[in-house]
Amino acid sequence: MNLRLLVLALGTFAIGTGSFVFAGLLEGVAAGMGVSVPAAGNLITVFALTYALAAPPLATLTSNVPRRTLLFFAMALFLLANLASAFAPSFEVLLVSRVVAALGAAMFTPNAAAVASSLAAPEARGRALSVVTGGMTVAFVLGIPFGSLVGAYFGWRSTFVLVGILALVALAGVRSLPAVPSPPAVSLAERVGILRRVPVLVTLLIMMLGMLGGFVAFTYIGPILSSVTGFGGFGVSVLLLVFGGAAVVGNSLGGYGADNFNYRRFVAALVTVQSLSLLALSPLFLLSGTVFAVAAAGAVLVVWGAAGFALNPLQQHRLTRLAPEAQNVALSLNASSIYLGQGLGAGLGALALGPGSLSHLGLVAAASTVCALFVVLRFVEPAKPQAPDFSREAGG
């Protein structure tokens, strides 16, 4: 395993933990700050939308900065923002700290992916990207469950001190990276111009809709699991650990499939399985209080985690093939589409909780993900069969 890829994965692990750990802490944050659970969910919405909107212009503004310097500055900013979150005196200050954290993440993650792609041979780029995005996935396995557990026993603020420590370790790792040349400067107009390529736009739309559907439910996964199983902080953390383990398997599957499977069939299968697993969240509430609730919830989390997390390395690999001369641009737009989906999904989940209940979120999430399937089937062209090569036979 390339140690440089592991350093980049360590950075995405820290960012993934800090970005998503709120999902397991919403009830504690809401109680501590004196706001409702849907209002606390806006912390995820604000982070995600800031990331989505800031990543493209930040990529342009920092295009001439050496990659190692940029990665170091971005992780340092993320570190300071999480410490600010830990000691925020009010909900408003907490919101601002999440905006600053998102700016750091928006500079780090797409650059880490672009550096990883440049370090790998063309035939191994899917796997290299899966290593770096795997840091985000491992955050679901270890960072988020452990952070939720720490929050349950020591208070939600302690979780962000933990995230700050992770960011500090990642910062030390980034310092050990060799100098990496900056990619050619690309203007904001050129970055937006890549969206005129229909296959690129379709790929980004699929990614955004897939994340939107997932985050309608994942934003409120703590309250959902508590309601279905009756578990407290420790039990919910164990179930999040199951979800994270499935996500790691899915991430590896996505990297392998990107290098070996037909794109249209594979992405359609992943989105279909994700839709069905999200739909299954709603019937889980019928099992609340029964001995089957925990097993059924675990099964849904396994399928959802594997299918949902196979999508990102697959989409990243496709973008590097669709825009080989502008990989950094394409990957930054992919990161924006991910976080735009997360922000819109969290917001849609909050709206669904207004007139309804937690049991409705699975239906809303599944409907959103079905939109991604429609885009795949309608706009992704089937692979054309390769014409047989008779020249070799004729020459032989």
Q: Is the pLDDT of residue 170 over 80?
A: yes
Domain positions in the chain:
3-383
Contact 314, 266 (CB under 8 A): yes
As a whole number, mean pLDDT of residues 321-343 equals 84
Place of tokens 């795997």: 134
pLDDT for 227-250, tens place per residue?
999 888 888 889 988 998 898 899
Sign for the pseudo-dihedral over CA of 288, 289, 292, 298: positive
The residues, any chain, with a CB within 8 Å of residue 316's CB and separated by 6 or more, are 113, 117, 126, 129, 133, 258, 331, 334
Better pLDDT: 24 or 78? 78
pLDDT band at residue 261 using 50, 70 and 90 as cut-offs: confident
pTM, rounded to two decimals: 0.80
Amino acid at 249: V
pLDDT of residue 396: 45
User: Exposed e or buried b for every residue in 160-171, given b needs 16+ CB within 10 A?
Assistant: bbbbbebbbebb
As a whole number, mean pLDDT of residues 46-75 equals 87
pLDDT for 126-150, tens place per residue?
777 778 877 887 787 788 788 888 8
pLDDT for 193-213, tens place per residue?
888 899 999 999 999 999 999
CB 355: neighbour CB atoms within 10 A?
A: 7
Q: Using CA atoms of 387, 389, 394, 396 in order, give the dihedral in degrees to the nearest 10.
A: -160
- Percentage of the chain with pLDDT > 70? 92
What CA–CA distance (Å, rounded) separates 77 from 22? 19
What CA–CA distance (Å, rounded) separates 187 from 177? 27
Contact 330, 129 (CB under 8 A): no
pLDDT band at residue 87 using 50, 70 and 90 as cut-offs: very high
pLDDT of residue 267: 95
Mean pLDDT (the chain) is 86
User: Of 80-84, 129-133, 313-317, 373-377, which range is least confident?
Assistant: 129-133
pLDDT of residue 369: 95
As a whole number, mean pLDDT of residues 5-13 equals 88
Q: Is the pLDDT of residue 58 over 50?
A: yes
pLDDT band at residue 266 using 50, 70 and 90 as cut-offs: very high
Contact 346, 41 (CB under 8 A): yes
pLDDT of residue 366: 96
Better pLDDT: 163 or 388? 163
The residues, any chain, with a CB within 8 Å of residue 345's CB and separated by 6 or more, are 211, 212, 213, 214, 215, 216, 218, 219, 365, 368
Superfamily of domain 3-383: MFS general substrate transporter like domains (1.20.1250.20)
Amino acid at 174: V
What CA–CA distance (Å, rounded) separates 154 from 152? 6
What CA–CA distance (Å, rounded) separates 162 from 360? 33
Task: Using DSSP, state whether 187 is helix, strand or coil.
Answer: coil
pLDDT of residue 183: 64
Better pLDDT: 328 or 373? 373
Task: Using DSSP, state whether 289 is helix, strand or coil.
Answer: coil
- Percentage of the chain with pLDDT > 90? 41
Q: Is the pLDDT of residue 393 over 50?
A: no
Amino acid at 244: G
What CA–CA distance (Å, rounded) separates 84 from 177? 27
pLDDT for 280-327, tens place per residue?
999 999 998 788 999 999 999 999 999 998 998 899 889 988 988 777
What CA–CA distance (Å, rounded) separates 250 from 304? 9
Cα–Cα separations (whole angstroms), residue 117 to 81, 176, 307 = 28, 19, 23
What CA–CA distance (Å, rounded) separates 334 from 174? 23
pLDDT for 27-54, tens place per residue?
888 889 999 888 888 888 899 899 888 8
